Structure 1
Amino acid sequence: MATSEVHLRICEQEILKYDLEVKALIQDINECKGPQSKLTELNGDVKKSFHNLRLRIQNLEQMAMEQDKESDRQTLIIQVEGHRKQMHSNQTAWRKSNLASKLSIDNMEKQALLNGADSGARQRKISKQDLAHTSSDITKNLMSISRMMAQQVNQSEETITTLATSSRTIHETNDEFKTMTGTIHLGRKLITKYNRRELTDKLLIFLALALFLATVFYILKKRIFPFF
């Protein structure tokens, strides 16, 4: 097996591995009940897996551009677009799961605060610093969600640009094939015309040679046998 095929298979296997890692982490986020630090840790792991997945997809795209056969190149480009769509689908699921988990944890913390307010002893334990910390965590979570949404928009723009580039490349390749087909067709016509002309020239030479031989024969006949 060629080295390029080995690298190609390894790249596809790693894409599958990181895709499964992302799905498993998203499931963990769905089931996360807190605390916020646990959710933050899971989100960090998801970001790492997405980063590795994005790099492997880019590697696969580079391998596609280096293929000699146009059919192999187009097949790999279609696979790359499929992996990118799957990655974007995972990002959407991650965003939804993360938001739902954050809201669930925030509601649990608020409920705990409200339940604690009913008890005088617990109310004395709640300090202004704890409330400020909770408010700060909520603000950070909202900012994190905003950043993820902005990142999603940027990735969507990159995907659209990649699709436009791929479409333009396919269109240019198709135009080149049409030009080559026209050139081949014209060459075939010229060769056919040349063959016909060569046959006509041979026929004319043969007739001229026959006429020459007939003339020589006639002259010899008149001189050798003048009375016939």
Structure 2
Amino acid sequence: MASSSNVHVRICGQEIVKYDLEIKALIQDIRDCPGPQSALTEFNSRVKEKFNMLRLRIQDLEQMAKEQDRESDRLAMIAEMESQRRQMLSNQTAWRKANLACKLAIDNMEKDELLDGGEKQSTRQRKATKESLVETSGNITESLMSISRMMAEQVNQSEDTIGTLATSSRTVLETNEEFKSMTGTIHLGRKLILKYNRRELTDKLLIFLALALFLATVLYILKKRLFPFI
């Protein structure tokens, strides 16, 4: 069962790395994209899909971490999960910057075309540019909202991790206190046993002395009865 779990963890890690590399490659494609806007939209759609898949695999890794029996394995997997979350947030920031750079390049190209065209074409291009800017603004806003949600999730996960560590620490302290209490009880029991043994020895000695006195008394009485003149 443990071997099967390790295989699932390894496969999950490999997929996370694969999606991370694919996202980085797509972000580079966005930086190099010369236009038009439809090409940028297609790249962004693919990036969103990869981010969704990456987010699911990170959640799977988190679930597998919670199912670990060994505390060291669980903490190591949680640390790896947090690292992957931070990497994903870094990729989202790079994605946003790449979109801004690409959009700026497309806008500059469209401005040059506007200067070369007629007035009607210039009007159409400005309208298209405004629509494109509105769309890009919406995409950027969506990306920022996604980053905010991810940061909130990360804060919650960190709070859960801290709470788990605090619970583990309290358990260790309580166990230590129980051991101390048991040690005190054992010492007290040992003292009571020694005291009981000493009292038992004293009782035996008193019984022996009483028996000796009784026998001496009996012998004295018998002597007086049997040999009154001695």
Is 1:211 aligned with 2:212? Answer: no
CA contact (8 A) 2:92 2:143 kept: no
Task: Report deviation, 1:37.
Answer: 1.5
2:92 aligns with: 91
The alignment of Structure 1 onto Structure 2 pairs a total of residues equal to 221
Matched residues in 2 for 1:133 and 1:30: separation?
21
2:226 aligns with: none
Is 1:187 aligned with 2:182? Answer: yes
Q: Secondary structure at the match of 1:2?
A: helix
**How is 1:147-158 mapped onto 2 (pairs within 5 angstroms)?**
147-158=142-153
Matched residues in 1 for 2:91 and 2:104: separation?
20
Q: Secondary structure at the match of 1:110?
A: helix
CA contact (8 A) 2:31 2:102 kept: yes
Identity of aligned residues (%): 39
1:197 aligns with: 192
Change (3 A) 1:132 1:125: closer
Deviations 1:17-57 (A, max 9, x none): 11111111111112211222211111111111111111111
1:143 aligns with: 138
Task: Report deviation, 1:95.
Answer: 0.8
Q: Is 191-200 or 170-179 further displaced after alignment?
A: 170-179
CA contact (8 A) 2:12 2:60 kept: yes
What TM-score do you get using the length of structure 2 for normalisation?
0.85
1:57 aligns with: 58
Deviations 1:146-190 (A, max 9, x none): 221222222222222222222223223322322222122112111
2:22 aligns with: 21
Task: Report deviation, 1:125.
Answer: 8.1
**How is 1:97-176 mapped onto 2 (pairs within 5 angstroms)?**
97-114=98-115, 116-117=116-117, 123=118, 126=121, 128-176=123-171
Matched residues in 2 for 1:9 and 1:198: separation?
58
Q: Runs of 5+ in structure 2 lacking a partner?
A: 224-230
Matched residues in 2 for 1:40 and 1:211: separation?
105
Deviations 1:50-89 (A, max 9, x none): 1111111111111111222222222221111111111111
Task: Report deviation, 1:10.
Answer: 1.3
Matched residues in 2 for 1:124 and 1:17: separation?
49
What TM-score do you get using the length of structure 1 for normalisation?
0.85
CA contact (8 A) 2:23 2:51 kept: yes
What amino acid sits opposite 2:87 in the alignment? Q
Deviations 1:90-116 (A, max 9, x none): 1111111111111111111211221x2
